[in-house]
Amino acid sequence: MKDILQKCTIEDFEYISEVLENYASITNDSKRKQLLAELHSDPSKKEELVALIDEQIRYFGSSDAAYFGRKLLGKDGGISAAELVSDVCEKSKVKVKLGGSLEARLEQLVNAVVEKELKSKSPEELVKAFKAMPEITEKERNLLLEHIKTNGEVLIIPILVELLGPKLALGIIEAITVTIISKFVGQQAAKLLVKEAIKRNPWLNALGPVMWAVSATWLAFDVQGPAFRKTIPICLYLGMVGLRDGQEVIAPPEVA
């Protein structure tokens, strides 16, 4: 988890820190916020902040009993980053390919979650949703509808990349992911998330605070345990961080 956290900006850390805030847990929230404040003027604090955030994320992926049990044995208390991502994929009902880097699996997680959301809508609903996005022309919307209707169960994200280009397709992926994440996090964290997404994709501002009308599929997560309300949005967010540099091909894995 540390490698991808190293790619985070101060703004990314501010959002992640807001999600991690939990007065009932044993995580050292005050230390994290202190390091984040110091990072603004002292870049050398990044290593320590990354290590602490990594530990706290993996803590939330473990039960308290298991965490303390491993600590008593002199081991790292939290679960491994790989296991945490696997648990999030299972809870989100998506599959990612085994092997490869953790960053690649986080990116696959984002793509699979977005693909799942896209497939929950009819072609007409998709065109209507894309109509609200000013960057997409009427011609492109019609081509998208034609491709989806002609090819049936074809994966939608590769079509978006082909018709709209990687940059705009990534903006759409981010808009959908941001809206899904917002279902898990508090109002303050959601505001930070939307603000940063719009900064990278100014055209998203036209969609307002609700960037995408997500399907009812994600509403059930409101009743999930508090740990998943932290690990799911953080893993999705880190997947978006990974996708920003364009090193990985935007190709969604299988949806469970």
187 within some domain: yes
**Rounded mean pLDDT, 38-67:** 84
Do 91 and 113 touch, CB atoms closer than 8 A? Answer: no
Do 62 and 230 touch, CB atoms closer than 8 A? Answer: no
Task: Please state the pTM of the whole predicted model.
Answer: 0.85
Does position 72 have pLDDT exceeding 60, yes or no? Answer: no
Which of the four pLDDT bands, split at 50, 70 and 90, describes residue 65?
A: very low
**Rounded mean pLDDT, 16-25:** 79
Does position 40 have pLDDT exceeding 90, yes or no? Answer: yes
Among 147-156, 168-177, 189-198, whose mean pLDDT is lowest? 147-156
Predicted pLDDT of residue 143: 87
Mean pLDDT score of the chain, rounded to an integer?
Answer: 81
Supply the DSSP symbol for 255: B
135 within some domain: yes
**Rounded mean pLDDT, 45-53:** 95
84 within some domain: yes
**Rounded mean pLDDT, 104-118:** 92
CA distances from 131 to 64, 103, 108, 159 (A): 47, 32, 26, 16
Q: Which domain holds residue 113?
A: 2-244
Q: Using alpha carbons, select from 19, 35, 85, 24 the residue that is nearest to residue 58.
A: 85
3-state secondary structure 113-130: HHHHHHHCCCHHHHHHHH
33 within some domain: yes
251 within some domain: no
Does position 141 have pLDDT exceeding 70, yes or no? Answer: yes
Tens digit of each residue's pLDDT (9 = 90 or more) over 182-219: 888 877 788 888 888 888 888 888 777 667 888 776 66
**Rounded mean pLDDT, 210-236:** 74
More confident residue, 135 or 99: 135
How many domains is the chain partitioned into structurally? 1
254 within some domain: no
In the three-class reduction of DSSP (H, G, I as helix; E, B as strand; rest coil), residue 94 is classed as strand
Which of the four pLDDT bands, split at 50, 70 and 90, describes residue 6?
A: very high
Among 3-7, 9-13, 150-154, whose mean pLDDT is lowest? 150-154
139 within some domain: yes
Predicted pLDDT of residue 211: 73
252 within some domain: no
More confident residue, 70 or 213: 213
